[in-house]
Structure 1
Amino acid sequence: MEHGGAREGEEKLRDFSYSANPYRPPFVKRALERAKIERYPYCNERLENDIKNKLGIPQDVVITAGITEQIQIIITYFRKKRFVSLRSTYGEYVRTARLLGSDIRIINNPDPDISELTPSRGDVLFFANPNNPTGKYYRYVNELVEQAEAKNFMLILDEAFIDFVDSVVPYEINDNVVVMRSFSKAYNLSGIRIGYAITSRPLADKFRDMRLPWGIGTIGCAFIEDILKDRKFLSTSLEKIRYERRRISETTGLRTDASYFLASVGSATVAVKRLKENGILVRDCSSFGLTDAIRFSIKRKKDNDLLLSLLRELEVRPPGYVSFR
């Protein structure tokens, strides 16, 4: 399973394959210094309540070592059920289900209508919103949540990139819904594995029993504490990202609701090679079943300008199989 982000030996490249906030929060040093690394991290219950109170929700919150641990917990718990996933989406859903021997149905359309998503009774649907790698936010999410309860299937909403969406559709979480969220993308902290799930009390208790003991560590606890106190960094950095997103969109004709763009380039392999020769690392989307496309993230203006000059030579265009109407 491939993921974005520079590998060892690629540190000198400008990394557009990593789709997180390009700005670093000001509390990084403080959190690292404050973490009590000599102690076990007995902070989960307190921080779960803090997150719940900040969100103002009646459901329970379960802290995990990122969304990846949530996926493993959810698939392990529901392993005897059938899972449903898009082909062109985050690959850990399918990989983990197959690893655990679970049945999984793949939807090949990279931009499905809601009618294509409705699973059978008892199924478990993984749905990333906004989707990765297309960057599209689906505004029918509230209808999908209602269908999960009415038709009795489990809906697992992956909202790893929800902070980058301009206008989010409200919905009421019911007992057939699990919402997966991460702090990594919005706060540029992928090396600190911290995330949380929102779900009903019975499911939350089961998930807590199944998660890795002390999975996030005291460093993760310290970062969550500072994130919950943040009043300025996120809003300020998101405004800069939105400005660059509009500028890139106006220049290239590409569209996105997230922190990255999907671009059709003819051959992803050729485009990735040419960009790498010019010091730019982007994501080859062949692993998503999109052999004609690359994904690149939104960085700071200087880096974006360099990439834009190279993209003109590649003659990038919007993928014909994703509509933002």
Structure 2
Amino acid sequence: MSTGTFDDTRPYTKPVQQRYELGLSENPYPPLPPVLDELNRMMAQVNRYPEFLPEQLPRVIGNRIGVGPEQIVVGGGATGVAMQIMQALIGSGEDMVFATPTFDGYPIMAGIAGVRATTVALDGLGRQDLWAMVRAIGPRTRVAVVCRPHNPTGTLVSASELQAFLAAVPRRVVVVLDEAYVEFLHPSDTLDVVRLIRRYPNVLVLRTFSKAYGLAGLRIGYAVAARELAARIRRWQIPFGMNAAAVAAVRASYAAEAELRERVRAITTEREQLAATLRRLGVVVPESHANFLYLDGPEIAPALRRAGIVAKSYPNGSARIAVGDPDAGRAVVAALLEEQLAGPGK
């Protein structure tokens, strides 16, 4: 993997003639049919406010996971919950630790909240360097973030690595385990969240309905934590902050589990086929466990941009692309093949 300098706050640039939007790791499919039915039904009631403070949604999610509603924090997507976490846990002059590059929201929100960010470079294979993160934790560190799978490379911290990391982190530091893409993991790679937070009360698991469930526009995210930790974060809950359709959409999404598994299988199958094709072209592609691929190379992002493909680009020329749409995948291959054929004198 290239070792260039990254700037996570740099937005991607849309081309003049856009063909495919692959820069936001969105689900290429609309919400599942039963979820759409529920959303259409809810539209007749949007003249009414949602709950002043959410009670039903934490109950629905808690029942699904196997914890009480008092252990669930909900917000406007995982990003909204992450902002509540920063506001609740990190004071003036204190800091948080996370890998770089990572999800754009962390450095952006740290800047908004006035939080000092300590970043740790990925290793040569695009993985989070957990032991470097442990060494980066100082006396004023309050939060450390581990993404599983990691964004943007899609790499996965193993369960044993994570356990060793958590054992080494001081209990005064809250570890945010960002599982935004957990539904794309193989079942053997998933963690027992209930057991994890029981053993490590300083761990907070962050998830979203934006990715696998295809509800990015509804902004529904949540965190699972020990009661005391969840209570600290819920104090930053915005009144009327959750949309009125959230409960119905989540219930319908949970009820459509079989359809969700089929959709995830289609996306991950396309991911593996596209990754194999790109590697045959000589593109460096780390093994991904999410719904995107990280394409490492100095000319990747410019080549995609010229082809009208929006990607999340990085200053070293690499790019992250959402997967799942076969037509978009073929366009990516064609763009990079054309780049190769054009050669250095293009």
TM-score range, shorter chain: 0.7 to 0.9
Where 1:180 maps in the other structure, the secondary structure is strand
Matched, 1:157 2:177: yes
1:114 Cα offset (Å): 2.3
**Greater RCO between the two (CA within 8 Å, min separation 6)?**
2
Matched, 1:37 2:37: no
Partner of 1:302: 327
The correspondence for 1:78, drawn from 83, 89, 98, is: 89
1:191 Cα offset (Å): 0.9
TM-score by length of 1: 0.85
Matched, 1:131 2:143: no
CA distance in 1, matches of 2:300, 2:238: 37
Q: AA paired with 1:71?
A: A
Partner of 1:320: none
Matched, 1:116 2:132: yes
Matched, 1:284 2:313: yes
Please show how residues 29-68 of structure 1 align to structure 2 within 5 Å.
29-35=36-42, 36-42=45-51, 44-57=54-67, 60-68=71-79
Q: AA paired with 1:293?
A: S
Partner of 1:236: 262
Q: Is the 8 A contact 1:64 1:215 kept in 2?
A: yes
Please show how residues 96-245 of structure 1 align to structure 2 within 5 Å.
96-109=109-122, 111-118=127-134, 119-120=137-138, 123-139=142-158, 140-148=161-169, 152-166=172-186, 167-170=188-191, 172-173=196-197, 174-245=200-271
Q: Is the 8 A contact 2:89 2:142 kept in 1?
A: no
Partner of 1:93: 106
Alignment length, in residue pairs?
A: 306
1:5 Cα offset (Å): 10
Q: AA paired with 2:96?
A: F
1:298 Cα offset (Å): 0.9
Change (3 A) 1:164 1:2: farther
1:77 Cα offset (Å): 1.3
The correspondence for 2:295, drawn from 255, 263, 272, is: 263
CA distance in 1, matches of 2:163, 2:214: 28
The correspondence for 2:336, drawn from 295, 306, 311, is: 311
Partner of 2:278: 252
Where 1:187 maps in the other structure, the secondary structure is coil
Where 2:245 maps in the other structure, the secondary structure is helix
TM-score by length of 2: 0.80
1:65 Cα offset (Å): 1.0
1:90 Cα offset (Å): 1.0
Q: AA paired with 1:38?
A: N
* Deviations, residues 265-293 of structure 1 (Å, cap 9, x unaligned): 323552243221xxx2222123xxxx230
Identical columns (%): 24
CA distance in 1, matches of 2:37, 2:191: 35
Change (3 A) 1:125 1:137: same
Where 2:110 maps in the other structure, the secondary structure is helix
Q: Is the 8 A contact 1:27 1:226 kept in 2?
A: yes
* Deviations, residues 8-34 of structure 1 (Å, cap 9, x unaligned): x87x52222231322221134322222
CA distance in 1, matches of 2:82, 2:156: 20
Q: AA paired with 1:187?
A: Y
Change (3 A) 1:152 1:241: same
Q: Structure 1 stretches of 5 or more lacking a match?
A: 317-325
Matched, 1:69 2:95: no
Where 2:86 maps in the other structure, the secondary structure is helix
Q: AA paired with 2:178?
A: D
* Deviations, residues 127-175 of structure 1 (Å, cap 9, x unaligned): 2211111111111223333334x55421011111111122424251221
Q: Is the 8 A contact 1:34 1:222 kept in 2?
A: no
Where 1:44 maps in the other structure, the secondary structure is coil
Q: Structure 2 stretches of 5 or more lacking a match?
A: 1-8, 280-284, 342-346
* Deviations, residues 35-62 of structure 1 (Å, cap 9, x unaligned): 2212221282222122112112467111
Q: Is the 8 A contact 1:72 1:96 kept in 2?
A: yes
Query: Which has the larger displacement, 177-186 or 217-226?
Result: 217-226
Give the CA RMSD over aligned residues.
2.5
Change (3 A) 1:147 1:156: same
